[in-house]
């Protein structure tokens, strides 16, 4: 087996070191710069219309020249950007799996705007986690201490990543959610516990709804989106009540 792969790690790893994904394949995290517009284009081409809506907050059929210049304009200080690129058994790069970036706002501040996208065929495989771990490490080196991100309420993937960083959501005037996330001081190190794993309960099978006729996709998509927005609204309201109303009641 290739020596490079022998040293692969299962989570976000130091730069230059491959990352093992959930399906057993490997990728490495490649910086995106002004000479890498093809990485940005490949990631965009791998997104479905639904994923593009979540990433760009609306329908987007193609990237303009201005988009490419902006998305590949990372300078390593104010704008950090990385792509996850699959690596085969021979250590060769193949396809782009996703991209993540952060941009200081305002310049020279300790806060950066976070954005991320994972191509549809690679979603749920640990790509987002690997990108985020790598981006956090690079951001800390540049003095960035917080990520801020705006997400659509039905963007469950980005909401999960923001909550993993300890971010609490707030509603903006346009109906989107904004998370303010403090960066951890050091990467979290987790070691498997054999005793705990042996006591782990089996995951219950999900309930599948069966209908005599297929439900039209536009109807199910709209219902699913509305349900996710409702969950996000009540979750945000509950956190706000917990942080503001509840302390006042106990302080009386």
Helix (H) or strand (E) holding 103: strand 93-104
Task: Give the residue carrying structure tokens 């303010």.
Answer: 180
Closest among 121, 128, 78 to 103, alpha carbons compared: 78
Average pLDDT over residues 20-38: 92
Contact 95, 86 (CB under 8 A): yes
pTM higher than 0.75 for the full model? no
Could you count the other beta carbons within 10 Å of the beta carbon of residue 139?
A: 20
Q: Which of 111, 80, 230, 87 is nearest to 179 (CA)?
A: 111
Judge whether 100 and 92 are in contact, CB under 8 Å: no
User: pLDDT of 32-45, one tens digit each?
Assistant: 988 899 999 999 99
Residue 161 confidence (pLDDT): 87
Rounded Cα gap, residues 250 and 252, in angstroms: 6
- Which pLDDT score is estimated for 15? 57
Q: Tokens 């549809």 map to which residue? A: 120
């Amino acid at each position: 087996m290739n020596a490079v792969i022998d040293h692969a790690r299962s989570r976000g790893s130091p730069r230059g070191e491959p990352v093992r994904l959930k399906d057993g394949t490997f990728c490495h995290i490649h910086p995106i710069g002004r000479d890498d517009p093809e990485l940005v284009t490949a990631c965009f081409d791998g997104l479905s219309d639904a994923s593009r809506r979540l990433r760009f907050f609306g329908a987007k059929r193609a990237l303009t020249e201005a988009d490419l210049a902006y998305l590949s304009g990372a300078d390593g200080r104010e704008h950090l950007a990385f792509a996850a690129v699959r690596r085969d058994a021979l250590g060769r790069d193949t396809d782009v799996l996703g991209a993540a970036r952060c941009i200081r706002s305002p310049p020279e501040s300790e806060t950066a705007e976070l954005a991320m996208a994972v191509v549809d065929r690679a979603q749920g495989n640990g790509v987002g986690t690997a990108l985020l771990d790598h981006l956090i490490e690079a951001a800390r080196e540049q003095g960035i201490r917080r990520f801020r991100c705006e997400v659509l309420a039905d963007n469950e993937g980005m909401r999960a990543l923001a909550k993993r960083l300890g971010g609490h959501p707030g509603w903006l005037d346009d109906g989107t959610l904004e998370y303010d996330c403090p960066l951890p001081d050091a990467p979290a190190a987790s070691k498997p516990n054999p005793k705990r794993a042996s006591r782990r309960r089996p995951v219950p099978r999900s309930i599948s709804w069966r209908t005599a006729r297929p439900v039209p996709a536009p109807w199910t998509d709209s219902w699913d989106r509305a349900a996710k927005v409702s969950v996000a609204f009540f979750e945000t309201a509950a956190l706000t009540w917990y942080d503001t109303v509840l302390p006042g009641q106990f302080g009386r």
